[in-house]
Amino acid sequence: MNNSADSSMVQAFREVMAHVCTPVAVITAIDGDRAHGTTVSAFSSLSMNPPMMMVSLDRASDLLAIIRRTGGFGVNVLAHHQDAEALRFARKGDDEFEGIEWTTTSGVPRLTESSGWVACRAASFVDGGDHVVVFGDIVDADHATAEPLTYHARAFGTHVAADIAP
């Protein structure tokens, strides 16, 4: 099988995925005394027993290398008002945490205003094309009442419940 994707198929797939509403998270880790993070929309719960999550990271990601080395990572589910943070962590930079309120909890960076937060220990890594799926055992979790940030049609927003009559 040819692993090189046809450019028209890649574009068609990109358009399909642009029309899927996804939550937005910042995946974090600590390397020595420095916090690192990157914005993702490809993450999900995997198992309730035992509690596990999965996150997809670009195989060239500096954060992926840190997680492989340290074994720990945080999943910060962004709140509806954190679109600036989503954009900030999506760009490579020297100190994406500058000016951001965060703490270290269970050994990983936790963004203070996130609507949800999970600390994980990497359990396994699975190659998938140009990405690697990281499976994580959940070691700590917390949530807030803030509505989540979502991404749909190349724009940030939040969930609004449908008004469906019974």
Cis peptide before 148 (omega within 30 of 0): no
- Position 159 scores a pLDDT of 81
Question: What is the domain extent for residue 100?
Answer: 23-152
- Three-class secondary structure of residue 83 per DSSP: helix
Residue 116 half-sphere exposure toward CB, CA atoms < 13 A: 13
Enclosing H/E stretch for 13: helix 7-18
Residue 114, domain member (yes or no) = yes
Other Cβ atoms within 10 Å of 165 Cβ, number: 3
Residue 16, domain member (yes or no) = no
Other Cβ atoms within 10 Å of 82 Cβ, number: 24
Residue 164, domain member (yes or no) = no
Q: What is the pLDDT of residues 104-147, one digit of tens each?
A: 999 999 999 999 999 999 999 999 999 999 999 999 999 998 99
Residue 1, domain member (yes or no) = no
Residue 29, domain member (yes or no) = yes
Q: Are 112 and 77 in contact (CB under 8 A)?
A: no
Residue 2, domain member (yes or no) = no
Residue 125, domain member (yes or no) = yes
Q: What is the pTM of this model?
A: 0.90
Is the pLDDT score of 78 beyond 90? yes
Number of domains in the chain: 1
Residue 9, domain member (yes or no) = no
